[in-house]
A and B are shown apart, each in its own frame.
Chain A
Amino acid sequence: MSERRTLLKRNLLNFWRTFRRNRMGRIGAVLLFTVLILSIGAPLLTPYQPTDTIRDANGRGMTFASPSEHGPLGTDDAGRDVWTQLLYGARISLTIGFVAGFMAMVIGSLLGILAGYFGGWIDSLLMRTTDVFLVIPDLPLMLILVATLRQLNTGFSPTVVLIVVIGVLYWTSTARLIRSQVLSIKERQFVARARAIGAGHSHIIRKHIIPQVMPLMVANTVLIISSAILTESGLSFLGLGDPTQPSWGTMLNFAFARSAVSNGAWWFFLPPGLAIVWVTLGCVLLGNVLEEIFNPRLTSHHLEGEQHMIARPDSPPLAEGIEGGA
Chain B
Amino acid sequence: MNRRDYLLRKILLAIVTLAVVVTLDFFLFRVLPGDPIRAVIGRNVRISKETQDALRAQFGLDKPVFPDQFFATVGQWAQGNLGISWSLREPVGEILVAKLGNTLLLVTLGQVLSIVLGVALGLFAGWKRKSAIDVGALTFSLIAWATPTFWLGIILLAGGSTWLGLPTGGIVEPGNIGKPFLEVLPDVARHLILPTLTFTIVYLGEYMLIMRSSILEVLSEDYILTAKAKGMSHWQVLRRHALKNAMLPIVTLIALNLGFTVSGVIYIETVFSYDGLGKLFQTALDKQDFPLLQGAFLLLAVAVIVANMLADLLYTYLDPRVRQA
Residue in contact with A273 in the complex, picked from B31, B145, B148, CB distance below 8 Å: B148
For the complex formed, measure the closest distance between the CB of B209 and the CB atoms of chain A, giving whole angstroms: 6
| Interface membership of chain A positions 244-284, coded 1 if the CB is closer than 8 angstroms to chain B and 0 otherwise | 00000100100110000110101001101100110011001
**Across the interface, do A137 and B154 meet the contact criterion of CB distance under 8 Å?**
no
Which of A10-18, A34-42, A146-154, A314-322 lies at the interface with chain B? A146-154
| Interface membership of chain B positions 5-21, coded 1 if the CB is closer than 8 angstroms to chain A and 0 otherwise | 00000000110110011
**Across the interface, do B142 and A273 meet the contact criterion of CB distance under 8 Å?**
no
**Across the interface, do A281 and B143 meet the contact criterion of CB distance under 8 Å?**
yes
Q: Complex: how many Å from CA A135 to CA B33?
A: 30
**Across the interface, do A139 and B31 meet the contact criterion of CB distance under 8 Å?**
no
Given that A277-B143, A306-B130 are contacting pairs, would A140 and B266 also be in contact in the complex, using a CB cutoff of 8 Å? yes
Q: With a CB–CB cut-off of 8 A, which chain A residues contact B135?
A: 305
For the complex formed, measure the closest distance between the CB of B294 and the CB atoms of chain A, giving whole angstroms: 7
Which B residue's beta carbon lies closest to that of A265? B158
Given that A252-B150, A280-B146 are contacting pairs, would A135 and B304 also be in contact in the complex, using a CB cutoff of 8 Å? yes
**Across the interface, do A152 and B146 meet the contact criterion of CB distance under 8 Å?**
no
**Across the interface, do B270 and A276 meet the contact criterion of CB distance under 8 Å?**
no
Residue in contact with A230 in the complex, picked from B129, B146, B213, B297, CB distance below 8 Å: B146
Q: Complex: how many Å from CA A218 to CA B154?
A: 34
Q: With a CB–CB cut-off of 8 A, which chain B residues contact A58?
A: none
Which of A48-56, A110-118, A234-242, A290-298 lies at the interface with chain B? A234-242
Q: Quick check: is A226 within 8 A (CB to CB) of the other chain? A: yes
**Across the interface, do B288 and A147 meet the contact criterion of CB distance under 8 Å?**
yes
**Across the interface, do B28 and A137 meet the contact criterion of CB distance under 8 Å?**
no
Q: With a CB–CB cut-off of 8 A, which chain B residues contact A132?
A: 13, 16-17, 20
Q: Complex: how many Å from CA A284 to CA B162?
A: 33
For the complex formed, measure the closest distance between the CB of A222 and the CB atoms of chain B, giving whole angstroms: 13
Q: Quick check: is B149 within 8 A (CB to CB) of the other chain? A: yes
Q: With a CB–CB cut-off of 8 A, which chain A residues contact B147?
A: 273, 276-277
Q: Complex: how many Å from CA A145 to CA B129?
A: 44
Q: Quick check: is A136 within 8 A (CB to CB) of the other chain? A: yes
**Across the interface, do B13 and A135 meet the contact criterion of CB distance under 8 Å?**
yes
Q: With a CB–CB cut-off of 8 A, which chain B residues contact A135?
A: 13-14, 17, 259, 304-305, 308
**10 more CB-based (< 8 A) A-B contacts, given A140-B300, A306-B129, A306-B130:** A135-B308, A136-B301, A140-B296, A143-B297, A255-B154, A256-B154, A269-B155, A270-B155, A277-B146, A284-B146
